[in-house]
Amino acid sequence: MGAPWWIPENYKISGQVTIKYQDLIIGSLIVLSGFFTFSFYYLRKRSIRSLDTKYYLHQLSHDIRDKQTDLHEKLFDDKKYSLGKLHKDLEILLSEVSENISSHFKLITGDSTVCVAIRLARYEKSDRQIYYRTYARSKGFNPQRKKNSQDIPANKGIPRFLKEDNDGQGVLIYNNLKAAKENGTYFFTKNDEKFPDDVKTMMVAPLNAWSGRRESMIGLLYITSRDAGVFKPIHVDAMAFAADLTASAVANSFEIVKEKVRNGDSRSDYAKAI
C-alpha cells in the first residue's frame, strides 16, 4: 500500500529516534517508585483494616466479659435482683454485642449499611408456644422498627427452616426475601412490609447453646444490608464465630441468674425465664 494522498511522493522520512541510557534508567526508576509507593499504600491500608477488625472482635469479647461481671455484682447476696431485671440486662448486653458485630462486618464487607439484630426464644403462656423476639438492634435500622416489632413463631419462617430442615445448624444467606417468603423459608413481619428498603440481603445464624434442659436454638443472629449481593460464602465463618460467641454470652448470663436467684435450679428453660 502507498502513502496517503496528502504526502508528496518524493517525501522521505529523515531523522532517527534515539533513547538515551540515562533516560531509560530514570523512566524505570519512576515506574518502580510508583509501583512500590502503591504497594506500601495498599499494605498500610490492609494492615489498618486488619487491626480494626481485630479491635472489634476484642471489643466484642471485652464487653461480654464486663457485662457478665456487672451481672455477678448485681447478684450478690446483699443486693436485690429479680428475674424481671434480666430482660433489661440482656437488652443492654446484646445492644453492645450487635454494635460490635455490625462494625466488624462493615469492615470486612466494605458496606456501611450493614446492621445487626438479635432475637431470643421466649415462651408465651397464653398459647404455650415459643416465639423469637427481637432484643437488640444496631444503629442503622429505621427507628420505627421498635414500635412495630413482631415475634416470629418457632414453627414458621427461619426458625422452622433451621430446626426442621437443617437440625438447627448452618448459616443462611438471603438475597430475595419475597422468594423466600413464597417457599416458606422466611416469615414476613410488619417491619418487612413497612420498611422494605431496610433489608435487601441478609445472613442468619442460629444461637445454639444449653437452654436449661437441653441444647437448643435459644436465639437468632441477623446481619443485614441495604445493598444486594453483599454477603458471600467467604463471610460464613465470621458469621458462625459471632453467633457462637453471642450464644455463649446469653447462655452464661442465664446460668448466672439461675445459680444465684433460683438456687441452682437447672431444669427451667431459658425461654420461660424472659
Give 10-residue mean pLDDT values along the chain (274 residues): 61 58 74 73 59 62 73 66 71 89 91 95 87 94 91 94 84 94 92 92 92 79 94 92 90 75 56 64
Looking at residue 139, its pLDDT comes to 92
Strands of the 129-137 sheet, one edge to the other: 152-153, 129-137, 115-124, 215-225, 201-210, 172-174
With b for 16 or more beta-carbon neighbours within 10 A and e for fewer, the 151-161 pattern comes to bbebeebbbbb
Which residue matches cell numbers 419475597? 178
- Report the SS3 class of residue 218: strand
What single-letter amino acid sits at 70?
D
39-272 belongs to CATH 3.30.450.40: yes
Domain boundaries defined on the chain: 39-272
Separation CA 96–CA 138 (nearest Å): 8
The beta strand positions in 211-267, using DSSP E, are 215-225
- Report the SS3 class of residue 3: coil
